[in-house]
Structure 1
Amino acid sequence: MSERDRTPADAGTLALPAAGLRLAAAVSARPLLLLRRGGDWVAELGRVGLGRSALAPDVPAGPVAPVARCAAQVLLATTGAVSGLLDDAVASPDVPLPAADAERLRATLAGLTALLLPAPGPLMITGSDGIAATGGTDPLPGDDHGRPATTAGPDPAAGDVADRVFTPPGADTPPVPFDTGARDARGGPVPGRDVAATPGAVVLRTPMFELLQYLPRTETVHDTPVLVVPPLVHRYWLADLAPGYSLVEHLLGKGLQVFALSWRPAGPADADRDLDAHAAAVLDAVDACGRITRAPRVSLLGVRTGGLLTAAVQAHQAAIGLDDRVAAVAYLATVLDQSDALPGFAPDPATVAETAGLAARDGVLDGATAVRAWAWRRGPDRVLPWAVPRGGGTADLDGRAARAMRAWVSDLLPLPAGLHTDLAALAAASGDGGGPDRPDVRVLGTPVRFAELRRDSYLVAADDDPVQPWTGGYRTAQRLGGACRLVLAPGDQAGALIAPPSVATGFRAAPCSTGDGVAQRWRARAEAVEGSWWDDLAAWLVERSGTMRDAPPELGGRRLRPVFPAPGTYLGETAPV
Structure 2
Amino acid sequence: MARDKAPPNVPLPPEPPSAPSGSTPSLPDLQHWTWVMGRAQQMMMEHGMGTATPATADAAPWPVVPGFNDPDTIRRATDFWTDSLTLWQRFLDPGAAPPAADEPPERARDKRFKAAAWRDQPYFDWVRRSYHLIADQMLSQVDALDGVAPKQKEQIRFAARGFVDAMSPSNFAVTNPEVIAKTIETKGQNLLDGLQHMLADIDKGQLTHVDPDAFEVGRNLAMTPGKVVHRTPMYELIQYTPTTPNVLATPLVIFPPWINRFYILDLTPEKSFIAWCVDQGITVFMVSWKSADASMKDVIWDDYIAAQVDAIDTIRSALDVPAVHTIGYCVAGTTLAATLALLTARDEADKVASATFFTAQVDFAQAGELQHFVDDEQLKLVASLSPDGFLDGRYMAMTFNLLRGRDLIWNYVTNNYLLGADYAPFDLLHWNGDTTNLPAKWHLGYLTDLYRDNRLATPGGMVVDGVPIDLTTVATPSYIQAGREDHIAPADSVWAMTRIFRGPMKFVLAGSGHIAGVVNPPAQQKYQYWTNAEAVDTLDDFVAGATETKGSWWPDWLDWLRARDGGDQVPAKRARVPGTGALPSLGDAPGEYVRAR
TM-score (norm 2): 0.58
Q: Which residue of 2 aligns with 1:521?
A: 541
* Distance in 1 between residues matched to 2:516 and 2:529, nearest whole Å: 16
Give the 3 Å change call, closer, same or farther, for CA 364–388 of structure 1 in structure 2: farther
Aligned to 2:175: none
1:405-420 correspondence runs (5 A)? 405-420=428-443
Task: Give, in angstroms, the shift of residue 368 of structure 1.
Answer: 2.6
Q: Residues 123-152 of structure 1, C-alpha deviation per residue, up to 9 Å, x if partnerless?
A: xxxxxxxxxxxxxxxxxxxxxxxxxxxxxx
Separation of aligned partners in 2, 1:220 and 1:486 = 29
CA distance in structure 2 between the aligned counterparts of 1:520 and 1:545, rounded to whole angstroms: 32
1:284 equivalenced with 2:310 (yes/no): yes
Equivalent residue for 2:187? none
- CA deviations over 1:386-430 (Å, ceiling 9, x no partner): x99639xxxxxxxx9972101110112111022113213422674
Taking the aligned partners of 1:388 and 1:263, their CA distance within structure 2 comes to 31
Residue in structure 2 matched with residue 427 of structure 1 by the alignment: 450
Structure 2 match to 1:20: none
What is the DSSP-based 3-state SS (H/G/I as helix, E as strand, rest coil) of the residue aligned with 1:496? coil
Find the partner of 1:196 among 214, 219, 222. 222
Match of 2:557 among 520, 533, 537: 537
Q: Measure, in 1, the Cα distance between the counterparts of 2:330 and 2:381.
A: 25
2:285 corresponds in structure 1 to 259
Is the counterpart of residue 567 in structure 1 residue 596 in structure 2?
Answer: no
Q: Deviation at 1:265?
A: 1.4
Give the counterpart of 2:465 among 433, 444, 447. 444
Aligned amino acid, residue 540 of structure 1 = W
Distance 1:388 1:367, change over 3 A: farther
Gaps of 5+ in 1: 1-184, 376-382, 392-399
One of 460, 482, 490 as aligned partner of 2:511: 490
C-alpha contact 2:531 2:548 (8 A) present in aligned 1: no
Give how far 1:468 is off.
4.2
Higher mean alpha-carbon deviation, 226-235 vs 437-446, is at 437-446
Contact 1:464 1:490 in 2 (8 A): yes
Task: Determine if contact 1:318/1:452 at 8 Å carries over to the other structure.
Answer: yes
Distance 2:328 2:395 in 1: 23
Select which of 345, 348, 356 maps to 1:319: 345
The residue type equivalent to 1:273 in the other structure is: V
* Match 1:480 to one of 484, 488, 501: 501
Partner of 2:475: 454
Describe the SS at the equivalent of 2:522.
coil
Is there any run of 5+ residues in structure 2 with no aligned partner, and where? 1-210, 410-422
Which residue in the other structure is 1:332 paired with?
Answer: 358
What root-mean-square deviation, in Å, do the aligned CA atoms of Structure 1 and Structure 2 show? 2.9
CA distance in 2 between partners of 1:451 and 1:263 (Å): 28
TM-superposed deviation, 1:269: 2.2
Q: Please list the CA deviations of residues 75-129 of structure 1 after superposition, one character each: whole Å capped at 9, or x if unmatched.
A: xxxxxxxxxxxxxxxxxxxxxxxxxxxxxxxxxxxxxxxxxxxxxxxxxxxxxxx
- Distance in 2 (alpha carbons) for counterparts of 1:291 and 1:236: 24
CA shift for structure 1 position 373: 6.9
Identity percentage over the alignment?
A: 28
Distance 2:212 2:491 in 1: 38
Q: Deviations over 1:366-389 (max 9, x none)?
A: 1132456799xxxxxxx859x996
**Alignment partners' CA distance in 2, 1:565 and 1:199:** 8
Question: Would you say the 8 A contact 1:337–1:435 is kept in 2?
Answer: yes
Decide whether aligned partners of structure 1 residues 243 and 549 sit closer, same or farther in structure 2, where only a CA change above 3 A counts: same
Residue 402 to residue 521, structure 1, CA distance change in 2 (3 Å): farther
Q: Secondary structure at the match of 2:517?
A: helix
Deviation of 1:309 (Å) = 1.3
Preserved contact between residue 225 and residue 545 of structure 1 (Cα < 8 Å) = no
Are the equivalent residues in 2 in contact too, given 1:231–1:306 (CA < 8 A)?
A: yes
For 1:266 and 1:248, locate their aligned partners in 2 and report how far apart those are by CA, in whole Å: 24
Counterpart residue identity of residue 450, structure 2:
A
The one-character-per-residue Cα deviations of 1:431-470 (angstroms, maximum 9, x if unpaired) are 4xx8612424122222232211211111111112345432
Q: Structure 1's 454 and 561: CA in aligned 2 closer, same or farther, altered over 3 A?
A: same
Note the alpha carbon deviations across 1:269-291, whole angstroms, 9 max, x for none.
21011111111111111112112
1:395 maps to none
Q: For 2:495 and 2:367, locate their aligned partners in 1 and report how far apart those are by CA, in whole Å.
A: 9
Question: Hey, what's the Cα distance between the residues in 2 that align with 1:512 and 1:362?
Answer: 50
Residues 307-342 of structure 1, C-alpha deviation per residue, up to 9 Å, x if partnerless?
011111111101111011000000011122222344
Q: C-alpha distance in 2, partners of 1:268/1:279?
A: 20
Letter in 2 for 1:318: T
Report the CA distance between 1:222 and its aligned residue: 0.8
Residues 148-197 of structure 1: per-residue CA shift (max 9 Å, x gap): xxxxxxxxxxxxxxxxxxxxxxxxxxxxxxxxxxxxx9723121231111
Specify the code of the residue in structure 2 equivalent to 1:213.
Q
Residue from 455, 460, 464 that aligns with 2:485: 464
Partner Cα distance (1:344, 1:242) in 2? 29
Cα distance between partner residues in 2 of 1:412 and 1:186: 13
**Cα separation, 1, equivalents of 2:248 and 2:242:** 10
Structure 2 residue 385 is matched with structure 1 residue 365? no
Please state if 1:390 is matched with 2:408: yes
Structure 2 counterpart of 1:509, one-letter code: W
- Whichever of the two has the greater Rg, that structure is 2
Question: How far does the alpha carbon of each residue in 1:471-500 deviate from its partner, in whole angstroms, 9 at most, with x for none?
Answer: 222122222221111111111101111111
The Cα of 1:242 is off from its aligned counterpart by 1.6
Are residues 1:350 and 2:377 paired?
Answer: yes
Alignment partner, residue 246 of structure 2: 220
How much does 1:292 deviate? 2.3
Residues 186 and 437 (structure 1), Cα distance of their counterparts in 2 relative to 1, 3 Å cut: closer
Query: 1:297 Cα shift?
Result: 0.2
Q: 1:296 aligns with which of 322, 328, 337?
A: 322
Q: Give, in whole Å, the separation in 2 of the partners of 1:419 and 1:343.
A: 20
> Structure 1-normalised TM-score?
0.60
Structure 2: distance between partners of 1:450 and 1:551: 35
Verify: 1:231 aligned to 2:238, yes or no: no
SS at 2:524 equivalent = coil
| Aligned CA distance change for structure 1 residues 512 and 358 (closer, same or farther; 3 Å) | farther
Query: Per the alignment, do residues 199 and 388 of structure 1 end up closer, same or farther by CA in structure 2, a change over 3 Å counting?
Result: farther
CA distance in 2, matches of 1:467, 1:267: 25
Counterpart Cα distance in 1 of 2:553 and 2:251: 20
2:266 is equivalent to residue 240 of structure 1: yes
SS at 1:549's partner residue? strand
Q: Is the 8 A contact 2:382 2:444 kept in 1?
A: no
Instruction: Tell me which residue corresponds to 1:106.
Output: none
Partner-residue secondary structure (3-state), 1:521: helix
Change (3 A) 1:389 1:558: farther
Number of equivalent positions = 371
Q: Superposed, which structure 2 residues align to 1:101-120 within 5 Å?
A: none
Partners of 1:191 and 1:343 in 2: CA distance:
31
Q: Secondary structure at the match of 2:529?
A: strand
- Offset at residue 203 of structure 1 (A): 0.4
Whether the 8 Å CA contact 1:241–1:401 is kept in 2: the answer is: no
Query: Secondary structure at the residue paired with 1:355?
Result: helix
Retained in 1: the 8 A contact 2:247–2:281?
yes
Give the direction of change, closer, same or farther, for the CA distance of 1:512–1:402 in structure 2 (3 Å limit).
Answer: farther
Contact 1:272 1:416 in 2 (8 A): yes
Distance in structure 2 (CA, Å) of the matches to 1:402 and 1:320: 48
